[in-house]
Structure 1
Amino acid sequence: MEPINQPPALRKQEFLSGVRDTLPLLLGALPFGLIYGAVAATSGLSFAAAIAMSAFVFAGSSQFIAIGLVAAQTPVAIIVLTTLIVNLRHMLYSATLLPYLKDLPQRWRIPLAFWLTDETFAVAVHRFQGNDSSSCKHWYQLGSSIAMYLNWQLWCFLGLVLGNRIPDAQNWGLDVAMPVTFIGMIIPFVKTLPVALCVLTAGAASLLTLALPYKLGILVSAFAGIAAGLMAQRLTRARAEAIRQ
């Protein structure tokens, strides 16, 4: 059950802290959202469909990939499979946050799950792991989530409105902001050899498979990184057991 008698001042403080700590990450979504909107405007999707994708899918990397695949007239099965693989990381995010959110009622867990993004996870997990005894940390995640959601909708909408007025948006190089943001979020979590090998393998595989059609390199890189991380983890455990014996 959600803790009762939470001081309104504490809820407000946690909410505003979540918004504040997410502000630097909003900048990374700005050019990505604009480019998504600009590309969606010329990809064959209607204005309403592109807006609905942002509002109900709310997954920047998957939206961008899906739009590119739609524009390339990629088979629907490949679009679905690719976006599914890209979004599988959210299962890991949810598993990490579950111990902190499991006692909340469904009216809290459902919207927090929908609004969970890479940026919100990055700031929320550090807040939940804090040593203080605040009972309103989920309000912190809510503040971060709403800030990211509104920010994304704004830039996607502007990208759609200005789409035809932004020539060659994909060639501007602004989309580098999102990979840089992801790298910045990943680095603090690279603390073990298996995680490091997973990241390095996925990165190397993405470069080697860049020329594959239908962005299949994303699938190959994801599986390669996961396989490398699991293998390294098993070898590390086996070595530790051998030393104990």
Structure 2
Amino acid sequence: MQFSAYRAEFWQGVRDLLPLVSGVLPFGLIAGANGVALGMSPETIMGMTVLFFAGSAQLAAYQLIQENAPFVIILVTAVVVNLRFAIYSATFAPLLAPMKRIKRWPLAYMLSDQVYGLCSVPAQQQRSDGERLWYLIGVATSMWLSWVLSVVAGIALGASIPSEWSLEFTIPLAFLAMLVSTITRPILLFVAVVSGLSAVLFQMLPYNSGFIVAVAAGVSAGLLLPRLLGRPVKPQEGR
């Protein structure tokens, strides 16, 4: 009976992820096609895709490679882009910590924005550990497959994707949709505004380093504002 319930949670996670595939598909198509345009082999592109499992970092690396940026800049940018996953992981640490590493690491590897968005909602947090775990597995595995297959499709289509489709426009829209859903408190809105303004003001910095400045500005704003207002940050405000 318990296994049947967990299996239902797994498939519920798969079903909940399916509507988000519409945002993953163009992202993956662009990642695959851009890699081909840069002269990378399909093996190299898929190696980066599986190793990174982080589309934003992969596309940022592509852009910097195209600009002949130093390796250190590429590495730092990829790390900074992915720093959010360290924050996300705090939500799942109590759930995954008791598991053996051989089981815990694959789930940690498959953490993504979509997985965090679906699995961190209050309704999921209130369920049993077993239900949360199998729901997480369902969301994470279906997300991983969606991303990998989307990149494969982008490699196959390559330069045949018409530029007038403007698929790259869907990427900021997908992130904007996730951002809006997470802004539930004034401090989060303040952090988003500071980060956005910084990104615009420093967009002309070389090697896309304005992004790093925007991240630093947003984090600093989130840390300093509560102190300026004379109150501590509540734990839920970081979620």
Cα deviation for residue 173 of structure 1 reads 2.6
Aligned position for 1:79: 74
Letter in 2 for 1:212: L
Figure out how many residues of one structure are paired with residues of the other and give that number.
Answer: 233
Match of 1:7 among 2, 6, 11: 2
* Residues 178-216 of structure 1, C-alpha deviations (whole Å, 9 max, x = no match): 222222222232222322111111111112222222111
* Residues 103-159 of structure 1, C-alpha deviations (whole Å, 9 max, x = no match): 222233111100000001100112774434362311111111111111111111111
| TM-score normalised to structure 1 length | 0.88
**Is residue 2:108 matched to residue 1:119?**
no
Aligned position for 2:89: 94
Q: Distance in 2 between matches of 1:218 and 1:239?
A: 28
**Is residue 2:205 matched to residue 1:212?**
yes
Aligned position for 1:69: 64
Contact kept, 8 Å, 1:127 with 1:137, in 2: the verdict is no
Q: Distance in 2 between matches of 1:200 and 1:107?
A: 40
Aligned residue for 1:116, secondary structure, equals coil
Aligned position for 1:234: 227
Aligned position for 2:146: 151
Cα RMSD between the aligned structures? 2.0
Aligned position for 2:175: 182
Structure 1 residues 239 and 48, CA gap change in structure 2 (3 angstroms): closer
List gaps (5 residues or longer) in structure 1. Answer: 1-5, 241-245
Match of 2:189 among 187, 193, 196: 196
Q: Distance in 1 between matches of 2:4 and 2:195?
A: 44
Aligned position for 2:31: 36
List gaps (5 residues or longer) in structure 2. Answer: 234-239
Contact kept, 8 Å, 2:33 with 2:155, in 1: the verdict is yes
* Residues 65-123 of structure 1, C-alpha deviations (whole Å, 9 max, x = no match): 11111122111000000010000000000012212322222233111100000001100
Aligned position for 2:236: none
Q: Distance in 1 between matches of 2:132 and 2:98?
A: 12
**Runs of 4+ residues deviating >4 angstroms:** none
Aligned residue for 1:191, secondary structure, equals coil
Contact kept, 8 Å, 2:226 with 2:232, in 1: the verdict is no
